[in-house]
Amino acid sequence: MSALVIRGARHWRTGAPLDLAIADGLIVDRAPDGAPELDAKGAILAPGLVDLHVHLREPGQSAKETIATGTRAAAAGGFTAVACMPNTDPVLDSVAWIEWVLSRARAAGRCRVHPIGAVTLGQKGETLTPAHALARAGAVALSDDGRPVMSAGMMRHALEYAAQAELPIVCHEEDLTLRGEGVMHEGFTATRLGLRGIPGAAETVMVRRDVELAALTGGRVHLAHLSTAESFEALRDAKRRGLAVSGETCPHYWTLTDESVGDYDTRAKMNPPLRSAADRDATIAAIQDGTIDCFVTDHAPHTEEEKRQPFAEAPFGIVGLETALALTITFLVEPGHLSLERALELWTDARLEPGHPADVTLIDADAEWTIDATRFHSKGRNTPFDGWRVHGKVLATVCAGAVTHADAALAVRGALPEFAEARA
C-alpha cells in the first residue's frame, strides 16, 4: 500500500490550512500511521493541472520529444494529465496506434496520457477513421490538429460520426487557401521583415464554418488554440445559441504579439501565429468573461537544428509545459486580470475531495525564478520565454498518489512513493 501525507499546505480556493492524506492513489480522510510526509510550508495545494493539447511526438519523432520526456516535462510543470495530439509519424488513426501510445505511457510516462485520434486516415482529409473503435481503445477526442479538415462536407460527416461515438472533434482552425505561404501574422512586422503573412481571417472563417456545422450536426466542436478577436466573438455567438461548442487558448496568446518575432526569431514562430496587440487584449477579455473554457499549452517541441533554419523554413511550434503556470500567474493573475483560483480552474478539472484520485500540484505563487530552457525536462528548447523573470513555481506534483516531481527545497520525512511503484 502506498501512502503519503502533504502537511501544512493551503487550500487553493479558500486559503485555509490543509493536510492532505493519500492512500492507494486516492485522497482519503486519514492516511495510515507512519506514512511518509511532505512539508508544504504554506504552499498552495491545487488539483493537478490538465493540458488538453500536447504534442508528445511519439511514434516516429523521438528526436523532438518522447512520451517519457514529454510527460516528465508535464510533471515538472504541475500537470497530472495530458491529451496528446495524433499528428505523429505514423498518425494515430488506428486502434493499434492508440493502444501503443497508452502502453508506452504506462511503461514510461510520468502523468496520465489521453490520446486523441485522427479525424481522417493519415490526416489526409479523405477517409474517416473508425471513431467507435478509437473511442473503445481509449481515444478521448478526434482531431486533425496541425492541418484542418478543409472540406466542409467531410467535416459534416466527421461530426455526425464522432457524435455517434460520443467524441468531440478538436478543430485546428485554419483555411489553407487564406494562409497560403504565410509564416507569421499578417501585419506591420511581417511587412517590415519581408515575410508572408497569415491573416486572422484564416482562423476565423474556419471557426465560423465549424460553428455552423456544429449547429447542423449536433456534433461537439472544441476550438483549438484560438488567437483572434473575431474567433472569440464567434465562440461567444455559438454559446449564446446554445451550441455544443467550446474553446481553448494558450499562454503565448495572452503574453506576446507578432512584434516578438523581432529579427526573424524562430522561437516566436507558431501556428496560429502571434497576433496583434488588439488580439492579445481580446484574448485576455475572452478569458475574463468566460468565453474561453480552458487553457492549453499546445506544447510543440522541435529540435535545435529544425528551429535554426531561416524563419520561413523553420517548423511552427513552441514548448509550453514547463512555463505554463508561471506565465499564467505572472501575466494574468499579478496584473489583476484573473484571480488565482479562476486561473487554476482553467487549467484543471480535478477535485480535492476524499475518494477522488490523488492528482495534486503544490504551488508557490510568489516564488520568483528565471526561465532557463537548458534546464527543461522536455527535449524541446524552443521557447520565446527563455531568460524571462517570472513568478509562480511548481514545488511538487503528485499523480495517482505518487510523487512525479518535487523541488529539492521541499522537506521530506520518509521515502516518498515514486510514480513507477504506483504504476506497478
Active-site annotation holder among 210, 298, 359, 364 = 298
3-state helix, strand, coil in the chain (%, to 5): 35, 25, 45
Q: Measured from the CB atom, is 57 or 391 closer to Zn ion?
A: 57
For residue 205, the minimal CB distance to Zn ion (Å) is 16
Q: Measured from the CB atom, is 47 or 182 closer to Zn ion?
A: 182
Which of these ranges, 171-179, 249-257, 287-295, 301-309, lies near Zn ion under the rule CB under 5 A? 171-179
d(CA 98, CA 163): 19
Q: Measured from the CB atom, is 64 or 172 closer to Zn ion?
A: 172
Maximum CA extent, the chain: 67
Q: Which three cell numbers stand for residue 226?
A: 484560438
Which of these ranges, 102-110, 170-178, 181-189, 226-234, lies near Zn ion under the rule CB under 5 A? 170-178
Q: Measured from the CB atom, is 5 or 213 closer to Zn ion?
A: 213
**Sign of CA pseudo-dihedral 76, 79, 80, 81:** negative
Which of these ranges, 167-175, 195-203, 210-218, 234-242, lies near Zn ion under the rule CB under 5 A? 167-175
For residue 224, the minimal CB distance to Zn ion (Å) is 5
Helices (H), 223-339: 229-240, 251-255, 277-288, 304-307, 324-328
Of 382, 341, 295, 270, nearest to 52 (Cα)? Answer: 295
d(CA 46, CA 411): 19
Kindly tell me which residue out of 55, 110, 172, 275 binds Zn ion, with binding defined by CB under 5 A. Answer: 172
Say if strands 389-399 and 402-406 run parallel, antiparallel, or are unpaired.
antiparallel
For residue 280, the minimal CB distance to Zn ion (Å) is 19
d(CA 227, CA 187): 15
Strand order in the sheet with 221-223: 142-143, 169-171, 221-223, 245-249, 294-295
Mark whether 298 is an active-site residue. yes
For residue 367, the minimal CB distance to Zn ion (Å) is 31
For residue 145, the minimal CB distance to Zn ion (Å) is 4
Task: Indicate the angle between helix axes 152-164 and 201-217, nearest 10 degrees.
Answer: 50
Which of these ranges, 166-174, 214-222, 236-244, 404-412, lies near Zn ion under the rule CB under 5 A? 166-174
Q: Measured from the CB atom, is 37 or 145 closer to Zn ion?
A: 145
For residue 123, the minimal CB distance to Zn ion (Å) is 11
Per-residue x/- marks for Zn ion, 132-151, CB under 5 A?
-------------x------
> How many CB atoms within 10 Å of residue 16?
8
* Residue 55 binds to Zn ion (criterion: CB under 5 A): no
For residue 126, the minimal CB distance to Zn ion (Å) is 19
Question: How big is the site for Zn ion, counted in residues (CB under 5 A)?
Answer: 2
Q: Measured from the CB atom, is 222 or 280 closer to Zn ion?
A: 222
Q: Measured from the CB atom, is 55 or 391 closer to Zn ion?
A: 55
Half-sphere exposure of 89 (CA within 13 A, CB side): 6
> How many CB atoms within 10 Å of residue 140?
17
List the Cα angle 353/355/360 in 5-degree steps.
55
Q: Please identify every residue annotated as catalytic.
A: 298
Residues that bind Zn ion (CB under 5 A): 145, 172
